[in-house]
Amino acid sequence: MKRENLFRNVLFLICAYVFIAGAALGFLILSGRMTAQTDPFNPELVALGKRIYGGHCAACHGIDLKGQPNWEKQNPDGTFPAPPQDGTGHNWEHSDRQLFDFISEGGAVFAPTSMESNMPAYKYRLEPREIWAVLAYIKSTWPEEILKKHARTNFVGGLKHH
């Protein structure tokens, strides 16, 4: 009987440990603390991202990250104006990985057949660390509520590109 109690107690402790570790990991991810590559609270990363954004992204997305007017309305040529990056658009609906891939590969890779994309691929222009830094800078401008929503998006993997 004692051996059964010992086994049950050990099993209970293992299960409790796994549960607590999982809860802690979930908290870190949901709070945004596990996305170090795009940490919007890292001043050096944000400064690098701001510089790169200014040189590569601001021409279309705006120095103020406001995007182009009527960004949700398709142009006659099948493209869409550049969306805002300040948290008022839809980029927070995509995980960091999806956003990285979109910047790296360009919008055409992800565009449905009903649209065209003017978003160029930056994989040959920027180092991966620079792309992550741009995302850190963009996220540093988002309000707290959008950061929380995006952390949840990162946790579940984000939505499909639309």
- The 10s digit of each residue's pLDDT in 18-40 is 888 777 666 655 544 456 788 99
pLDDT of residue 29: 57
Question: Alpha helices, DSSP H only, in the chain?
Answer: 2-30, 43-56, 58-61, 96-105, 128-140, 144-156
Residue 162 has pLDDT above 50, yes or no: no
pLDDT of residue 114: 64
Q: How confident is the model at residue 50 (pLDDT cuts 50, 70, 90)?
A: very high
Give the whole-number percent of the chain exceeding pLDDT 90.
51
pLDDT of residue 161: 45
pLDDT of residue 151: 86
Measured between alpha carbons, how far is 68 from 126 in angstroms, rounded to an integer? 23
pTM for this prediction: 0.75
Residue 141 has pLDDT above 60, yes or no: yes
Q: Which residue has the higher pLDDT, 145 or 20?
A: 145
Q: Who's near 9: CB < 8 A, 6+ residues apart?
A: none
Q: Which residue has the tokens 């300040």?
A: 86
Residue 59 has pLDDT above 90, yes or no: yes
Q: Would you give the end-to-end CA distance of the chain in angstroms?
A: 60
- Which amino acid does the sequence have at 52? I
Residue 159 has pLDDT above 60, yes or no: no
